[in-house]
Chains A and B, each alone.
Chain A
Amino acid sequence: MSGNQAIVAAALAAGCRFFAGYPITPATDIMEELAKRLPKMGGAVFQTEDEIAAIGAVVGASIAGVRAMTATSGPGFSLMQEMLGLATMAEVPLVVVDAQRAGPSTGMPTKMEQSDLNIALYGAHGDAPRIVLAPRSVEDCFYQTMHAFNLAETYQMPVIVLSDQSLSHRTETLTMPNPDLVPVAYRLRPAARGDAQAYRRYALTENGISPMGVPGFDRTPFTATGLEHDETGEPDYTPAMHTAQLDKRGVKFERAAELLCGLESPLGCWACGVPEEKAEVGVLTWGSTAGAAREAVHELVAEGYPVAGLIPAVINPLPASRVRYFALNLKAVLVPEVNRSGQFAAWVKAHVGIAETERRGRELPLISLNKYGGLPFTPGEIRAKVRGLLDEVIHG
């Protein structure tokens, strides 16, 4: 199956019953596939006038209690930023699939690129923490999309799935995905027999997660807003409340990070090659470049070279401790990615900085390998660069 087909199956398995979207290559067939299937499963697909309306309708459906998703590509994702901010502020669960293509602007609609990482991480104004996942294969498209819904529902925030054109439309043979491996979550709701008068939608709880009333089902009316608000949802611009609510939204994200970056993470890193303790050179990458990187590492190891690979599934929160441990004793770490500016390498450097590698007394030895013609890496390109690095560190 293809990456887009896997995303559709996973969304349905996770309980998604609302999709709104606007046609855009290479994400369109997610909408088309869901349009065939969702109405038969009690759901709805809504083609809107633009991407702002698409994510707006998703926000509305989610406020109304339905698990909801949109899928788009770079140009549409740019338009969706204001609603990501609203969903962060109003604490509305939702999933956005960005099937990246070459940019900026209209770019090359039918060519792949991994250049939307920055907008996924930093898009929308204000402090707006959100989870960013990056599938590494078609199988990953399935499991990560299922997890995306559960994370969105659990932490009441937007979750971005950063796929790309090469994953969207490639056909892979894979082990039959098992939806039963991923739990199905739903947002925390007010106690059925609770006191509606005392209900506070944005209550400042220890883990930042507060009960979300579902209109039509919970007798706990509240008004959600993009304005800063107090615990009841009423606008509140006091320094103390803005600080407290920013902390609430931040703490939720930090709790998600504890789960996603811990040893028991449901979305762990892929490791390949020799154990990093025995390696001289490492390959650190993300998203669909995983395939070429893994093959390159396997080939080099088969030839007897001390090479290790690491590929996180979760980009935000980045499993920084794991990456640091991986890179700590390596002489060089190659970071191949399909963009010109090294967006992932910069993200890693921001999280795994100099101070944290003091033991070695030097910066992380990250070396970017950037390809940006609209095509994915071949294993040979990565292998050749690693061979060069091996020659330098072993003989140089």
Chain B
Amino acid sequence: MANLVAQDFKSKVKPTWCPGCGDYGLLAAVYQALARLQLDPAKTIVVSGIGCSSRLPFFVKTYGFQTAHGRVLPVATGVKIANPDLTVIAVGGDGDGFSIGGGHLVHAVRRNPDITYVVMDNQIYGLTKGQTSPTSPLGIKTKSTPFGSADAPINPMAWVLASGVSFAARGFSGDPKLLIDLIVAAVQHPGFAFVQAMSPCPTFNNTYDLWRGNVQGLPADHDPGDRLQAMAQAVREDAIPLGVFYRESRPTLESHTRVTDHPAKSDATARFDVHGLLEGYR
């Protein structure tokens, strides 16, 4: 395979995102990361749910699957078990991953399949044009909450850390260099790698200025091997720390549960012997 550059991962499909959308920064970082990793497009699959950010698979020239709203992780896990040789990258938004798909997140995290999960968090429902999301701040006035939201936001980083995630990082679409590094590290991590990509929605919840003022690197002495330190950083309210919060090595789901007898590996229509099994009922 020839040396691939970022451009090689760019499909002919043009993004439908608004001008200034943070997801452009994330997409550019994905192209760069895939090139740096020299991933084979025919052995890579980008899986998503539904939402603005879940359009991303169409823009990447690998295998892709845009599934149903909130269902990216169950589908991605099925792909990984069926063929552990594939690089599986799951993407989506905060509504997709933390609201309708929230029930799946903790289970994906605890099982630890070798999947990278990038959530583009804009703290708003953008595709449906501006309703409060599970990460929107308390009291936010949106089209669905004209008198302010009564719901406190989810803290995704604290949530995945508490669920036992084996890799967790946070980036910002305004800092593409760091995002590339984080995506590369996430894909290289053997296990479930969660990347929260702060990705503003300039149309319905413009947080660019607020976040630019609040993001900062994790402290120089942060130990990513210490879950409690990671949790302390996750719950900070004075700043939005960026970087690798936590990483540990533990067995993956597919090290235990995987398909080895893949039909495409041999004659796909060969007969499967069950005579012994049937004789057992005699």
- Which residues of A are interface residues toward B (Cβ below 8 A)? 1, 5, 9, 12-15, 17-18, 20, 37, 39, 41-46, 48-50, 52-54, 56-68, 82-83, 85-86, 90, 176-177, 179-180, 183-186, 189, 213-227, 234-235
Residues of A contacting B73 with CB < 8 Å?
Answer: 53
- Which residues of B are interface residues toward A (Cβ below 8 A)? 11, 13, 41-47, 50, 57-58, 61-68, 71, 73-83, 85-86, 103-104, 107, 257-265, 268-272, 274-275, 277-278, 281-282
Given contacts A46-B77, A218-B42, A223-B65, contact A179 B274 (CB under 8 A): yes
Residues of A contacting B62 with CB < 8 Å?
Answer: 221
Given contacts A17-B259, A44-B259, A235-B58, contact A83 B68 (CB under 8 A): yes
* Pair A60/B77 contact, Cβ less than 8 Å: yes
- A184 and chain B: residue at smallest CB distance: B269
Given contacts A56-B71, A215-B86, contact A37 B277 (CB under 8 A): yes
- In the assembled complex, the CB of B69 is this many whole angstroms from the nearest CB of chain A, namely 8
* Pair B83/A216 contact, Cβ less than 8 Å: yes
- 7 smallest CB-CB distances across A and B, nearest first, come from A42-B261, A60-B78, A56-B74, A223-B64, A57-B78, A186-B268, A64-B82
* Pair A1/B42 contact, Cβ less than 8 Å: no
Chain B contact surface mostly: mixed
* Pair B64/A57 contact, Cβ less than 8 Å: no
Residues of B contacting A66 with CB < 8 Å?
Answer: 82-83, 259, 262-263
Question: A176 to B42, alpha carbons, bound, how many Å?
Answer: 43
Question: A220 to B64, alpha carbons, bound, how many Å?
Answer: 11
Can you list 22 A-B pairs with a CB-CB distance of less than 8 A? Answer: A13-B274, A17-B261, A42-B259, A44-B81, A46-B77, A49-B104, A53-B73, A56-B78, A60-B74, A60-B77, A60-B78, A61-B81, A66-B83, A66-B263, A186-B269, A216-B83, A221-B64, A223-B57, A223-B65, A224-B65, A225-B57, A226-B50
- In the assembled complex, the CB of B197 is this many whole angstroms from the nearest CB of chain A, namely 20
Residues of A contacting B58 with CB < 8 Å?
Answer: 223, 225, 234-235
Question: A37 to B74, alpha carbons, bound, how many Å?
Answer: 23
Question: A360 to B264, alpha carbons, bound, how many Å?
Answer: 54
* Pair B77/A57 contact, Cβ less than 8 Å: yes
- A224 and chain B: residue at smallest CB distance: B65
Residues of A contacting B57 with CB < 8 Å?
Answer: 223, 225
> Of B66, B74, B278, which contacts A48 at CB under 8 A?
B74
- B282 and chain A: residue at smallest CB distance: A176
Question: A217 to B20, alpha carbons, bound, how many Å?
Answer: 38
Residues of A contacting B11 with CB < 8 Å?
Answer: 223
Residues of A contacting B282 with CB < 8 Å?
Answer: 176
* Pair B45/A215 contact, Cβ less than 8 Å: yes
Residues of B contacting A56 with CB < 8 Å?
Answer: 67-68, 71, 74-75, 78, 104
Residues of B contacting A226 with CB < 8 Å?
Answer: 50, 66-68
* Pair B79/A64 contact, Cβ less than 8 Å: yes
Residues of A contacting B63 with CB < 8 Å?
Answer: 213, 215, 221-223
- In the assembled complex, the CB of A81 is this many whole angstroms from the nearest CB of chain B, namely 10
* Pair B86/A44 contact, Cβ less than 8 Å: no
Question: A103 to B252, alpha carbons, bound, how many Å?
Answer: 39
Question: A120 to B124, alpha carbons, bound, how many Å?
Answer: 36
- In the assembled complex, the CB of A28 is this many whole angstroms from the nearest CB of chain B, namely 18
* Pair A9/B43 contact, Cβ less than 8 Å: no
Question: A15 to B274, alpha carbons, bound, how many Å?
Answer: 10
* Pair B68/A82 contact, Cβ less than 8 Å: yes
* Pair B66/A179 contact, Cβ less than 8 Å: no
Residues of A contacting B64 with CB < 8 Å?
Answer: 221-224
* Pair B74/A53 contact, Cβ less than 8 Å: yes
- In the assembled complex, the CB of A87 is this many whole angstroms from the nearest CB of chain B, namely 10
Question: A46 to B81, alpha carbons, bound, how many Å?
Answer: 9
Residues of A contacting B277 with CB < 8 Å?
Answer: 9, 12, 37
> Of B65, B78, B103, which contacts A68 at CB under 8 A?
B78
Given contacts A17-B261, A52-B74, contact A59 B274 (CB under 8 A): no
Question: A68 to B262, alpha carbons, bound, how many Å?
Answer: 11
* Pair B259/A43 contact, Cβ less than 8 Å: yes
Given contacts A46-B78, A64-B82, contact A59 B67 (CB under 8 A): yes
- In the assembled complex, the CB of B78 is this many whole angstroms from the nearest CB of chain A, namely 3
Question: A221 to B105, alpha carbons, bound, how many Å?
Answer: 27
* Pair B85/A216 contact, Cβ less than 8 Å: yes
> Of B43, B68, B77, B81, which contacts A215 at CB under 8 A?
B43
- B274 and chain A: residue at smallest CB distance: A13
Residues of A contacting B50 with CB < 8 Å?
Answer: 226
Among B82, B257, B282, the most chain A Cβ lie within 10 Å of the Cβ of: B82
* Pair A83/B83 contact, Cβ less than 8 Å: no
Residues of B contacting A216 with CB < 8 Å?
Answer: 42-43, 83, 85-86, 264
Given contacts A57-B75, A221-B63, A225-B66, contact A65 B81 (CB under 8 A): no
- B263 and chain A: residue at smallest CB distance: A186
Residues of B contacting A85 with CB < 8 Å?
Answer: 68
Question: A220 to B61, alpha carbons, bound, how many Å?
Answer: 10
Question: A219 to B68, alpha carbons, bound, how many Å?
Answer: 25
* Pair B103/A49 contact, Cβ less than 8 Å: yes
* Pair A221/B61 contact, Cβ less than 8 Å: yes
Residues of A contacting B103 with CB < 8 Å?
Answer: 49-50
Residues of A contacting B275 with CB < 8 Å?
Answer: 179
**Contacts A15-B268, A61-B82 supplied; 18 other A-B pairs, CB < 8 Å:** A18-B81, A18-B82, A39-B257, A42-B260, A44-B82, A44-B258, A48-B74, A53-B104, A57-B75, A59-B78, A60-B76, A61-B259, A63-B78, A65-B262, A83-B71, A185-B269, A216-B42, A225-B57
